[in-house]
Amino acid sequence: MERWRGRVALITGCSVGIGAAVAKHLAALGINVVGCARNLEKLTEVAQSIPSPGKGTASSGSFTPVQCDVRDETAVLNVFSLIKAKFGRLDICINNAGLAKTSPLTTGDTDDWRLMLEVNVLGLSIVARESVKLMTESAIAEGHIFNIGSMAGHRLPGSPETNFYSATKFAVRTLTEGLRRELRAEKRPIKVTLISPGIVET
């Protein structure tokens, strides 16, 4: 991880759970983290738990909290404008924002389905696209995009209430592989990784 010290990482869904934990870990390794989420109060709590550069440990990176709903494309574009203005580059994107609603295929609520699609599929795709754009513009030597999927994207869970959610995570698998192939064909120095957790506390 030493070679990533001083570089810039974007983490979506950064206010709790996996996103918050990864933000704290990367900042401790000396990486400048931009964390975005809908809940500004919880995002501020994450920011307060991370030492400012020069405090706590010699290796501390920075943490910049930004309120953003990935369903709002304008808000997402504003996050990337902020990153470009403040740091001039992006090296790592951790596409972590996602949610699940218990909404069966036979009786589910259309608004629940739409919300899962907008966050888990469209939001993830917009963030990945803009990450590639900024990584390319800043001519980085190596970049890495991590899409956070789910084991529900590899097999259907036992409950019918999560079938639609599972479909969005299968889509994340496809989008990850598709992006990897596009970047390989264009010979861009950007890796793409899918991480598929099981159930976590949050």
Report domain extents, the chain. 2-195
Q: How many C-alpha atoms does 166 have within 13 Å on its Cβ side?
A: 17
The 10s digit of each residue's pLDDT in 65-82 is 999 999 999 999 999 999
Task: Give me the pLDDT at residue 55, please.
Answer: 53
Give the tokens for residue 24.
């704290």
Catalytic residue among 65, 165, 183, 192, which?
165
| pTM, two decimal places | 0.93
Q: What CATH number does domain 2-195 carry, 3.40.50.720, 3.40.50.150, 3.40.50.2000, 3.50.50.60? A: 3.40.50.720
Residues of the chain with confidence (pLDDT) below 70: 53-59
Q: Are 93 and 18 in contact (CB under 8 A)?
A: no
Task: Give me the pLDDT at residue 84, please.
Answer: 98
Instruction: Please indicate whether residue 24 is annotated as part of the active site.
Output: no
The 10s digit of each residue's pLDDT in 126-137 is 999 999 999 999
